[in-house]
Chains A and B, each alone.
Chain A
């Protein structure tokens, strides 16, 4: 694949879809370097990130240990510190493995699969429209994080509906493109599973 845009997408395959704007690789690397030890699955696997993260974890734990009573507590605190550090290192190793596997997978995609993957990663709801919609419902202004969170879960919601509709379509022995009847059946099934919020009808728990 000699397409530079595709390579960038493959390199960023480990990092989950960036919220504010598409992150170019240098920006993603910088983000990893500045990340603190609290990052769980944000991916990245550069040694720079691991060093910085470990340094911050160590200093944070050192302060916490000093705050406790010295003597008996110091030994236990040191052990906890070591355990935490080991766990974070293991988690980072697992992240690195996952990133490598993703890179291998993406590099073996066909042209059509790459197109679809690119659309999957890049598509997003426009922040302005979502913000306008939420503000028209609340009547007050909302913070940027709320818009980011809402856009994110809306995209997951769309994914759930589309995947269920594709299951329905396949089960009925038909082919995509999805038709409204598939979508409606998918919605009916998701509602039965409680995955679609519906606060219009009063729930009778005991009767």
Chain B
């Protein structure tokens, strides 16, 4: 666990120094390369984005998630990450707020639909 914590600030320095300069130590394996490529194409980039750009984006996303997680841990119930904390942190950003509300609502709907479907099957 402690290893992962040290990794994150180290990764950000590596991002500015350019890829591969630092060698093996602390170089986390790329988590989202494939998905990020599809996402970048979907948002308007070329069909084959540059690998360096994808790397920069991955570091940005990991930093974003890390920041959000740390902030969520410090508010509400300490030491835990709950949905209400995330919604609170996002409240000023209209796009993200609407997106989270939509996703959670749709998730509830789908869960309800699946449950009703299963009960119907079970009954018959």
Main secondary structure on A side of the interface with B: helix
CB pair B49–A157 under 8 Å, yes or no, is no
Complex CA distance for A160 and B39, rounded to whole angstroms: 12
Q: Which residues of A contact B117 (CB under 8 A)?
A: 30
Complex CA distance for A161 and B66, rounded to whole angstroms: 17
Interface residue? B103 (CB, 8 A):
yes
Q: Chain A interface: which size bin?
A: 35 or more
CB pair A33–B32 under 8 Å, yes or no, is no
Q: Which residues of B contact A162 (CB under 8 A)?
A: 39-40, 43-45, 57
Cβ-neighbour of B35 out of A41, A121, A125, A183 (below 8 A): A125
Which residue, of B4, B52, B113, has the highest number of chain A Cβ atoms within 10 A? Answer: B113
Q: Which residues of A contact B71 (CB under 8 A)?
A: 197, 199
Complex CA distance for A145 and B67, rounded to whole angstroms: 18
Complex CA distance for A42 and B110, rounded to whole angstroms: 11
CB pair B46–A134 under 8 Å, yes or no, is no
CB pair B106–A134 under 8 Å, yes or no, is no
CB pair B38–A123 under 8 Å, yes or no, is yes
Interface residue? B62 (CB, 8 A):
yes
Which stretch of A61-69, A73-81, A171-179 is in the interface? Answer: A171-179
CB pair A27–B113 under 8 Å, yes or no, is yes
Interface residue? A57 (CB, 8 A):
no
Q: Which residues of A contact B53 (CB under 8 A)?
A: 165, 177-180, 182-183
Interface residue? A102 (CB, 8 A):
no
Main secondary structure on B side of the interface with A: helix
Known: A119-B42, A150-B86, A178-B50. A156 touches B95 (CB 8 A): yes
Known: A30-B117, A39-B109. A177 touches B48 (CB 8 A): yes
CB pair A19–B106 under 8 Å, yes or no, is yes
Q: Say how far B41's CB is from chain A's closest CB, in angstroms.
A: 5
Q: Mark B99-115, 1 if CB is under 8 A from A, else 0.
A: 11111111101101100
Q: List 23 A-B contacts (CB under 8 A).
A: A16-B99, A19-B103, A31-B109, A31-B113, A33-B113, A39-B109, A117-B42, A119-B42, A120-B43, A134-B69, A137-B4, A137-B65, A139-B1, A143-B83, A152-B100, A154-B64, A155-B99, A156-B99, A158-B43, A162-B57, A176-B45, A187-B60, A197-B64
Q: A20-B110, A179-B53 are in contact. List 18 more A-B contacts (CB 8 A).
A: A30-B117, A31-B110, A33-B113, A34-B109, A42-B102, A119-B42, A137-B5, A137-B65, A149-B104, A152-B103, A153-B86, A158-B43, A161-B60, A162-B45, A166-B45, A176-B46, A177-B48, A199-B71
